Structure 1
Amino acid sequence: MYSIDEVHHILQFIKDLGLEPIHLIQTIGHMEFVLKHPAFHDLREEPRTPAVLCPSKPESLTLVKNMLQQALDVQPDAKYFHIGADEVWHTGVCEQCHSRAITNEHKVPSLYLEHIREIVLFIKQQRPELVVLMWDDMLRSINIDPLEYYKIGELVEPVVWNYNVMEHFQIENNLWDTYKKIFSNVWAGTAFKGANGSCQIMSPVTRYVSNQKVWLKEIRSLSNKINFAGVILTGWSRYDHYATMCELLPVAMPSLSFCLLYWKSADEHTQDKLQVSEVLLEEQWPGFKLAVCVHSFVMLRERALQLLHGDAVATWFNPWQLKHRYTSPAQVDRIAGFSYSIWADLKMLQEDMLQQFPKVTGKRSSDEWMESYFVPLFKRISDIYEAASAASLASASVRPT
């Protein structure tokens, strides 16, 4: 997606802001961006999906090492490196992996852990000072014996992610007991956007601040057991490579701001007094105008869906009535008026969005968002407006056709 020169520019820009850039290179799961290509089809663990890399093929390790080498070369002063390794949905499926698993005393987990060991050792041989991070979800179901056998605690620091609100947040105590024995340091993984639903377009601040609150409560309760080295506030833009875009970064700026403020607050009393808001001042809100457009779209979508799925359409303008031309002009006039009002507002908003999108993202992403969310709704409202306008010109029906 980016040239090497562009990557250098991005890394320097991050440093100029006083931040520490951390590469995240997926190394076994979420490999769709590579395995979707015909040249790498044979490296899939499950032929029907490009999600997971087969760890048994020598070419797989070569591929991953080449990817890692590129990232290492482009950032020679890196302090941290993230190898992903989450959501490996298919393990021990192919014939080679199955054969390896049944002959190993640690069975299927051995495939995953040996792969992780190989790639981390590759990194450490070149840059022994690097702290290697990985998502922890695939480690949770593995017994302590394989983790100890493969010395995973000497290789990585796991990021324990949980994006739920306080009411639904749960991490089993036995997981912390295991991690205490295995890892010197662990990280917490929270979310400030992209965890509210795979096609949600708003980032409710209170929902995400709740996730920060419960994580801080968890960290405090474990202060005598677990050493937390840091917190990662994740902000996903898709649930996977083939998913459509969810919450845009400009929309999520208030959430990011208040989530960071929560961690920055010095003590519990200050945190409890923190007043969150769903908005920021315009001068503090990068992408403000696009965010306003998305907020407006959400309100218009609600109006549109109330019309499309409301009693008026279901009672006086449903598909059967349209098909058989059995309508009452007075009722249809009302539907035409409501639909025109929404249509006109959507039309004005469309012009604003088409002006704002290019300021924050490229044409492909702009087109994808508009065609995924805006265009289908606009078409449905246009269709009902046109149909209602035509039907309103007719006399009251005598009988269905």
Structure 2
Amino acid sequence: MNNFKVDRTGSQRLVHLDLKGAPPRISYFEKILPFIKNIGATGILLEWEDTFPYTKDVIPIGSLSDHAQTSGAPYSMEEAKQILTIAAACDLIVIPLLQTFGHLEFVLKHENWRSLREVEEFPSSICPSKSGTIQLITSLLEQMIEFHPSIQYIHLGGDEVWHMGMCSICEKRIQTSQFGKSRLYLDHMSKIGHYVKENYPGLKIIVWDDMFRNIEVEILQEYPSCNFFELMIWNYLPSDSFHLNDGLWEKYNSVFSNLWIASAFKGATSSCQLIPVIKYHLSNHLAWLTELEKNSKKIGNLRGIALTGWSRFDHFATFCELLPCGIPSLCFCMATWISGGYSQDLEESVRKLLGSDCGTISYLESSTVCLPKTNPQPTFPGWQIFVGIEMLMNLRTRYKNLINSDQLQTWFNTWQVLNSFTNPMQIKSLLLVVIELLGEMSTVKEHLKKYMEEVFFNHTLEEFFGTLMVPVEHHLNQMKTDIERQLSLGGRAREHMNL
């Protein structure tokens, strides 16, 4: 265990809720926010994206758009207010996160703002040089800030600007600037920062740090906005690959008055991961504890940590881990962070919190937490979905093993089916496996549908089943039909083949 102890009185512990994928119903917020508070969180970093109820000229971007209203996507104005009310009742501060440079697919996908793209064919990054950019960003910011009555911080995003300095206007600016893309980035973020400070002087501003990492300190010091930016340094890697640039702490402390760090409890491994690999995320938090202990004399004012839980890798990506599936990982990571290390006693206490006392530490090696299907049942919010996803993962593995099996490739490949040249003895056993998988798939689907309807909106269920279950069901049903037809033929001589 590390000797470093988190300052439990002055350190913030934020749980990041990424609403751009599978946003939960209000009834789930009523369960999960008290739970988050109970495990030690002091606030939530709320990434609304297109679930925010924007109005007026930017209404197409958010949850009040015609498309959102037709599909039943959240949130209404009243629902959004309810989330803030529940958080306040739990004594959790709410820090809204609004992307202002990169990751703006949810804005730039609309024809109204397509002209503001840095690269016309890609909707990820906005052009900082076009006249409508600042007007659009400040319009979004104004509504976001005004909506949160007790707001103390605003997170302006600013990370992973994949396309910058590529349009003709930006290229010209880069050529005439001694600092190139660095100045382009800092000019844009400074304009937004100054807008916030001029209109909301008491508001603190957080920005992701990755775009600042390779900017020389002398350049940063030329920008007064850096004096009121609070950088959130993110690294989601486990101990064996965790690394921060040499001199990073010294550079940041010479420019920025306050810093944050960000870890991950889910959504940082595979882009289509279904259940977090707890050992991976636990290792990430232990790496951060080691980093802070090692550099304790170099670190100035550290505000706290945000435990991020991404739901998609970008606006167009499929789901990664649903929030209920990330709760066990969140509990282990939060407990490790508060304790300043990991121990057997901590493991036991977290297991009791989750409502499960089975197994040993070995389950941390895999993506499952080894929760029992019988008593004692788990008790954390949404555990039934967790169990259902575990069953689905098992079924999908068996399905993949079947379609990649030697038996199918040898006696039931595409050529053989098309030419009706199959051995009934070999394919009859395949039919039994397919029928069994279809039956179990139906049972799991019924289970997940029942409990997911309680937590998520219909558009989430449609995407989830349409992505993970319907294609498998269709393929299995087609296989069943094909096998039954081949069995009815009873094995035929080659002269009957359709060559």
TM range (shorter): over 0.9
Q: 1:272 to 1:151 in 2, by over 3 A?
A: farther
Counterpart among 417, 430, 441 of residue 335 in structure 1: 430
Partner residue, 1:238: 312
Counterpart among 434, 437, 450 of residue 355 in structure 1: 450
Residue-by-residue CA offset, 1:7-28 (whole Å, 9 max, x unaligned): 2221111111121110101111
Partner residue, 2:114: 41
Equivalent AA in structure 2 for residue 386 of structure 1: T
The answer to whether the Cα contact below 8 Å between 1:193 and 1:203 also exists between their aligned partners in 2 is yes
Residue-by-residue CA offset, 1:332-377 (whole Å, 9 max, x unaligned): 0111111111111101212222222211111111100111111111
Partner residue, 1:196: 269
Residue-by-residue CA offset, 1:67-120 (whole Å, 9 max, x unaligned): 111122112321111000111111111122122222122222111101111111
Equivalent AA in structure 2 for residue 185 of structure 1: N
Please state how far the C-alpha of 1:173 moved relative to its aligned partner: 1.6
> Tell me, which stretches of 5 or more residues in structure 2 are unaligned?
1-62, 64-74, 348-360, 364-368
How many aligned residue pairs are there?
399
The answer to whether the Cα contact below 8 Å between 2:228 and 2:257 also exists between their aligned partners in 1 is no
The answer to whether the Cα contact below 8 Å between 1:117 and 1:155 also exists between their aligned partners in 2 is no
Equivalent AA in structure 2 for residue 299 of structure 1: N
Q: Does 1:123 align with 2:193?
A: no
Partner residue, 1:376: 471
Q: Does 1:344 align with 2:439?
A: yes
For residues 152-191 of structure 1, the aligned pairs below 5 Å read 152-191=225-264
The answer to whether the Cα contact below 8 Å between 2:228 and 2:256 also exists between their aligned partners in 1 is no
3-state DSSP of counterpart to 1:330: helix
Please state how far the C-alpha of 1:302 moved relative to its aligned partner: 0.7
Q: Does 1:260 align with 2:355?
A: no
Q: Does 1:28 align with 2:101?
A: yes
3-state DSSP of counterpart to 1:91: coil
Q: Does 1:389 align with 2:489?
A: no
Q: Does 1:367 align with 2:462?
A: yes
> Tell me, which stretches of 5 or more residues in structure 1 are unaligned?
none
Counterpart among 299, 311, 320 of residue 226 in structure 1: 299
The answer to whether the Cα contact below 8 Å between 1:4 and 1:74 also exists between their aligned partners in 2 is no
3-state DSSP of counterpart to 2:160: coil
Moved more, 136-145 or 301-310: 136-145
3-state DSSP of counterpart to 1:45: strand
Please state how far the C-alpha of 1:152 moved relative to its aligned partner: 4.4
How far apart, in 2, do the equivalents of 1:74 and 1:282 lie?
Answer: 39
Q: Does 1:104 align with 2:177?
A: yes
The answer to whether the Cα contact below 8 Å between 2:266 and 2:281 also exists between their aligned partners in 1 is yes
Q: Does 1:306 align with 2:379?
A: no
Please state how far the C-alpha of 1:273 moved relative to its aligned partner: 4.8
Partner residue, 1:65: 138
The answer to whether the Cα contact below 8 Å between 1:254 and 1:279 also exists between their aligned partners in 2 is no
The answer to whether the Cα contact below 8 Å between 1:185 and 1:226 also exists between their aligned partners in 2 is no
Partner residue, 2:384: 289
3-state DSSP of counterpart to 1:51: strand
Q: Does 1:274 align with 2:346?
A: yes
Residue-by-residue CA offset, 1:177-203 (whole Å, 9 max, x unaligned): 322322232211111111121111111
Partner residue, 1:144: 217
Partner residue, 2:81: 8
3-state DSSP of counterpart to 1:392: helix
How far apart, in 1, do the equivalents of 2:469 and 2:440 lie?
Answer: 12
The answer to whether the Cα contact below 8 Å between 1:189 and 1:234 also exists between their aligned partners in 2 is yes
The answer to whether the Cα contact below 8 Å between 1:102 and 1:108 also exists between their aligned partners in 2 is no
Q: 1:113 to 1:282 in 2, by over 3 A?
A: farther
Instruction: Using structure 2 for the length normalisation, give the TM-score.
Output: 0.77
3-state DSSP of counterpart to 1:62: helix
